[in-house]
Chain A
Amino acid sequence: MYRIRFHGRGGQGMKTASRILGSAFFEAGYEVQDAPRYGAERRGAPIFAYVRADREPINERGIIQHPDLVIVADDTLVAVPAAGVLAGIAARSVLLISSAATPGEWRHRLNFSGPIVTLPPGDETGDRPDLPWIGARCAGAAARLVGVLSREVLIRAIETELGALGEAVVALNRDKALAAWDTMAPHSGLVSEGEAPRAEDYVAPDWADLPFETARVSAPTIYAAANSVEVRTGLWRTLRPVIDYERCKRCWWVCSSFCPDGAIDVSADGQPQIDYDHCKGCMVCVAQCPPHAIAAIPEHQAQAEATGLGDNPGDRP
Chain B
Amino acid sequence: MSRTLLTGNGAAAWGARLARVDYIPAFPITPQTEIIETLAEWIDNGEMDGRLVTLESEHSMLTAAGGAAATGVRVFSATSSQGLLYAMEMLYTVAGWRAPFVLINVSRGLSAPITLEADHNDVMAARDCGFLQLHCATCQEVLDNTLIAYRLAEDERVRLPVLVNLDGFYLSFTREPVVIPDAAQAAAFTGPFNPQAMQFRASTPESQAVAVLGGGPYSYFRYELHLAAQNALPVYDEISAEFAAGFGRAYPAVEAYRADDAQLVFVMLGSFATKARAAVDRLRAAGWSIGLVQPRLLRPFPVDALRTRLAGKQGVAVIDQNLSMGKGGVLHTELAAALYGHPAAPPVLASFVGGLGGRDITSEEFFEIARVLRTAVDTGQTPPPRLLYTHDELKEIRKLQAVAHVERKELGGTP
Which of A60, A205, A229 has the most C-beta atoms of chain B within 10 angstroms of its own C-beta? A205
Q: A32-B176, A40-B116 are in contact. Are A223 and B386 (CB under 8 A)?
A: no
CA distance A199 to B279 in the complex (A): 8
Interface check A39, CB cutoff 8 A: yes
A199 touches B282 (CB 8 A): yes
A206 touches B367 (CB 8 A): no
User: How big is the B interface, by class?
Assistant: 35 or more
A60 touches B275 (CB 8 A): yes
Give the residues from 378 to 404 in chain B that come closer than 8 angstroms, CB to CB, to chain A: 386-394, 401, 403-404
Contact of B394 among A32, A210, A223 (CB under 8 A): A210
Interface majority SS (helix, strand, loop, mixed), chain A? loop
CA distance A205 to B176 in the complex (A): 29
Interface check B230, CB cutoff 8 A: no
Chain B's nearest CB lies how many Å from the CB of A196? Answer: 6
Residue of B nearest to A52 (CB): B176
Interface check A267, CB cutoff 8 A: no
Q: A34-B174, A199-B286 are in contact. Are A60 and B389 (CB under 8 A)?
A: no
B175 touches A22 (CB 8 A): yes
Give the residues from 132 to 191 in chain B that come closer than 8 angstroms, CB to CB, to chain A: 169-170, 173-177
Residue of A nearest to B407 (CB): A228
Q: Inside 8 A of A223's CB, which chain B residues have their CB?
A: 404, 407-408, 411, 413
Q: Inside 8 A of B360's CB, which chain A residues have their CB?
A: 62-63, 65
Interface check A166, CB cutoff 8 A: no
A35 touches B277 (CB 8 A): no
Give the residues from 186 to 228 in chain A that come closer than 8 angstroms, CB to CB, to chain B: 196-200, 202-208, 210, 217, 220, 223-224, 228
B175 touches A60 (CB 8 A): no
Q: Inside 8 A of B237's CB, which chain A residues have their CB?
A: none
Interface check A26, CB cutoff 8 A: yes
Per-residue CB proximity of A227-270 to B under 8 Å, as 1/0?
A: 01110000000000000000000000000000000000000000
Q: Inside 8 A of B368's CB, which chain A residues have their CB?
A: 202, 204-205, 207
Residue of B nearest to A204 (CB): B368
User: How big is the A interface, by class?
Assistant: 35 or more
Summed over the interface, the residue pairs from A and B with CB atoms below 8 Å come to a total of 118
Q: Inside 8 A of B370's CB, which chain A residues have their CB?
A: 199
A33 touches B174 (CB 8 A): yes
Contact of A206 among B7, B112, B358, B392 (CB under 8 A): B392
A205 touches B364 (CB 8 A): yes
Give the residues from 275 to 305 in chain B that come closer than 8 angstroms, CB to CB, to chain A: 275, 277-279, 281-283, 285-286, 288
Q: Inside 8 A of A199's CB, which chain B residues have their CB?
A: 279, 282-283, 285-286, 288, 363, 367, 370
Q: Inside 8 A of B7's CB, which chain A residues have their CB?
A: 35
Interface check A59, CB cutoff 8 A: yes
Interface check B362, CB cutoff 8 A: yes
Q: Inside 8 A of B53's CB, which chain A residues have their CB?
A: none
Interface check B80, CB cutoff 8 A: no
B174 touches A35 (CB 8 A): yes
Interface check A23, CB cutoff 8 A: yes
A208 touches B174 (CB 8 A): no
Q: Inside 8 A of B364's CB, which chain A residues have their CB?
A: 197, 202-205
B275 touches A35 (CB 8 A): no
B176 touches A33 (CB 8 A): yes
Residue of B nearest to A39 (CB): B116
B271 touches A205 (CB 8 A): no
Contact of A35 among B175, B286, B362, B393 (CB under 8 A): B175
Chain B's nearest CB lies how many Å from the CB of A63? Answer: 6
Q: Inside 8 A of A202's CB, which chain B residues have their CB?
A: 363-364, 367-368
Per-residue CB proximity of A42-70 to B under 8 Å, as 1/0?
A: 00000000000000001111110100000
Residue of B nearest to A65 (CB): B362
Residue of A nearest to B171 (CB): A61
Contact of A59 among B274, B283, B286, B404 (CB under 8 A): B274
Interface check A128, CB cutoff 8 A: no
Q: A207-B386, A223-B413 are in contact. Are A197 and B363 (CB under 8 A)?
A: yes
Contact of B389 among A61, A208, A224, A228 (CB under 8 A): A208
Which residues of A does B touch, CB under 8 Å? 19, 22-23, 26, 31-37, 39-40, 58-63, 65, 196-200, 202-208, 210, 217, 220, 223-224, 228-230
List 12 extra interface pairs beyond A32-B175, A199-B286, CB under 8 A.
A35-B173, A61-B275, A62-B170, A62-B358, A65-B362, A196-B278, A199-B285, A207-B389, A207-B390, A210-B394, A224-B411, A228-B404
